[in-house]
């Protein structure tokens, strides 16, 4: 990912989203050729030099101070996650002089042991790009019963949850609120891309999705930024029907960005009953044989 270019696009998108009238600035259509705030207006409101701001938006200010960036973030009304993203883009980490040799990443033995112990909770381990490194049987049955259960063990065949969300029709149909999930997926991917602009595999994933999915390309161009740490997934599973599951996305310390996602249902709810039914089917060996059907 080209951090300077992404920085300029991000700042322009946020300038365009602001209404000049909210800052007491006349927005007469015959006097304005751009939507939102002009560069000089933003610089004045943030009390920063127009030269410094212009250099920043053009990707020519790699040593921008915290004070400068925070003043711009306040004026643009960025939230905490967006401010962190702005700083990541404005001051990208220095790339190593010698590229690191490619190495195959696997879930740690302890993470696999934890997954194995979570017999009643669907769970999976992902890397920072959302490649599936491992899942327990219930996690596989819940999200990807149409894929081989051992697919995470082969790097070339590993499922990627973001790719599946946009390009795998069977996986897409699981989500009753697919558009909300798509926006969240893109927003969280933006955060990761800002922190790791030199991740070639991540850039390839973004390029593939941009080229092959107009919906992804449109969302990506809006520069949404949001962390995906917890929330609710609303699913319509082909075997057990509708479920509303809470999820927690937990970073695994010292594992290079790997994280564990676990799903739970409210005790006593129809979703818990459906999850138990899926667990019984998984234990009996029926779930892997089920293939998703079209859900109206």
The predicted structure's pLDDT at residue 86: 94
d(CA 58, CA 39) in angstroms, rounded, equals: 11
pLDDT per residue of the chain (296 residues) written in tens, 0 to 9:
566 788 999 999 999 999 888 888 876 655 666 678 999 999 999 999 999 899 999 887 777 888 999 999 999 999 999 999 999 999 876 555 444 444 568 888 888 899 989 999 999 999 999 999 999 999 999 999 999 999 999 888 899 999 999 999 999 999 999 999 999 999 999 999 999 988 999 999 999 999 999 999 999 999 999 998 999 999 999 999 999 999 999 998 888 889 999 999 999 999 999 999 999 988 876 654 334 333 32
Kindly report the number of other CB atoms within 10 A of residue 41's CB atom: 18
Enter the pTM of the model: 0.86
Domain 109-289 falls under CATH 3.30.300.30: no
**Burial of 33: CB neighbours in 10 Å, binned 0-12, 13-18, 19+:** exposed
Superfamily classification of domain 3-90: lambda repressor-like DNA-binding domains (1.10.260.40)
Strands (E), the chain: 123-126, 132-135, 230-237, 241-251, 259-264
What backbone phi and psi angles, to 5 degrees, belong to 235? -120, 155
**CA nearest neighbour of 188 among 162, 215, 212:** 162
The domain locations on the chain are 3-90, 109-289
Q: How many helices (H) and strands (E) does the chain have?
A: 13, 5
Kindly report the number of other CB atoms within 10 A of residue 196's CB atom: 19
**Residue with token string 């070639």:** 200
């Amino acid at each position: 990912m080209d951090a300077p270019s992404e920085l300029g696009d991000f700042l322009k998108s946020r300038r365009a989203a602001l209404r000049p009238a909210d800052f007491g600035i006349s927005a007469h259509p015959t006097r304005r050729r751009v939507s939102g705030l002009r560069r000089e207006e933003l610089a004045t409101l943030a009390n920063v030099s127009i030269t410094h701001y212009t250099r920043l938006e053009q990707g020519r200010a790699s040593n921008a101070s915290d004070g400068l960036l925070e003043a711009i973030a306040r004026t643009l009304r960025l939230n905490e996650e967006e401010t962190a993203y702005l700083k990541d883009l404005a001051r990208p980490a220095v790339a190593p002089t010698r590229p690191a040799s490619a190495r195959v990443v696997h879930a740690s033995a302890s993470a696999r042991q934890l997954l194995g112990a979570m017999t009643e909770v669907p769970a999976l381990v992902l890397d920072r790009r959302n490649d599936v490194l491992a899942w327990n049987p219930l996690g596989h049955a819940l999200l990807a019963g149409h894929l081989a259960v051992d697919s995470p063990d082969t790097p070339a065949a590993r499922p990627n949850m973001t790719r599946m969300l946009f390009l795998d029709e069977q996986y897409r149909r699981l989500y009753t609120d697919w558009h909300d999930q798509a926006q969240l997926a893109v927003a969280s991917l933006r955060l990761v891309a800002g922190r790791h602009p030199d991740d070639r595999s991540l850039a390839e994933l973004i390029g593939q999705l941009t080229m092959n999915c107009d919906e992804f390309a449109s969302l990506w161009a809006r520069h949404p930024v949001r962390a995906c740490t917890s929330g609710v997934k609303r699913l319509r599973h082909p075997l057990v029907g509708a479920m509303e599951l809470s999820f927690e996305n937990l970073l695994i310390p010292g594992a290079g960005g790997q994280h564990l996602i676990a799903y739970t249902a409210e005790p006593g709810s129809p979703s818990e009953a459906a999850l138990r039914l899926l667990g019984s089917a998984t234990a009996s060996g029926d779930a892997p044989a089920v293939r998703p059907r079209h859900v109206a």
